[in-house]
Amino acid sequence: MKKLIVGLLIISAFVFNSCNSKTKKEDHEFVKVESGNCFLDEAENKIISLKEVELKAKFIDSLSNHKSGISLISDSLDIDGISYYEIKAGYNTKIRFENYYTFYIEKGNCENIKIFEPIEGVVISLLKWRKIQNDTKNPNLILENGQLKKIALPFSFYEYFKSEYSEEKYHSYTATKNLIDFLISKDYEGENYKCFIIPSKKDYLNIVVSISRGDSEYYVLVTSKESKILNFIEIGCIGGEDIITFKILKDLSVEKFKGNQEVGVPFEKYQINDEGIIVKL
């Protein structure tokens, strides 16, 4: 009889615990559905699956010989009283995090995706941004809004480096597809392009383009007129063993130095002439 009672008690306890476990699981699932949240892992997966990010991920994979991929940095903020995830997608190199895109996903709706548009400095819908990117009618070399901000000469890479690449002091512009396609055709493919405008003679446009490629960064001087490229030359390269830096003087002459110090005599000199052509001195 005692054995029968003990057996009944064990069975009752097992049934009671099973019912409790089932109730807890169902309650948990019910709360998750009712909350309507877009969880961070869902938001990040959404970003990774975007065609623009997938394209960058393939490029990084190829560039790093299959050792690196796209990196995400996530944060939170409110836009117009609505909570969003801020997710930056980029390449985490040894030098720094090279940001490609900054996305915003509503925490209550993973389908509501916005992106930071750097030219206007505003956050817009992903759909609107894609329409802007697909506009192939822009014949210019840089995306600009209003009067161009030019870098005062002399423009020294060493001073630029010491200022920790200050965007406030060294204002940069975004390269258009036209300029990027030209640079790629000259073997300057990279994951990020920044354009600095320096003074010029007459109506020429002189651009120093910073091209990030893995842990290296190349600097190419481009001269142009009416959106047509006249001449170009590589004036600097950092990140590798043989560091080359530059200094552009007020007379539009260019000095190249070995190492990240402006000491000694430059090993090469160039001059931008009155026709916008870069000649070796």
pTM for the whole structure: 0.58
Say which residue, 264 or 183, is predicted with more confidence: 183
Ramachandran sector of residue 147 (left: φ over 0; alpha: ψ -120 to 50; beta: rest):
beta
Distance CA 64, CA 101 (A): 20
Cite the DSSP H helix spans in 36-95: 40-48, 51-63
The encoded tokens of residue 121 equal: 């400095």
Is the separation of the CB atoms in 72 and 66 below 8 Å? no
Write out pLDDT tens, residues 8-40.
333 344 333 433 333 333 333 322 333 458 999
To the nearest whole number, what is the mean pLDDT of the chain?
82
Tell me, what amino acid is at 164? E
Write out pLDDT tens, residues 228-266.
899 999 999 998 788 999 999 999 999 999 987 766 789
Say which residue, 201 or 125, is predicted with more confidence: 125
Domain ranges across the chain: 40-133, 142-280
State what percent of residues in the chain have pLDDT above 70: 83
Write out pLDDT tens, residues 190-222.
888 999 999 988 888 999 999 988 888 999 999
Is the separation of the CB atoms in 215 and 93 below 8 Å? yes
End-to-end CA distance of the chain: 110
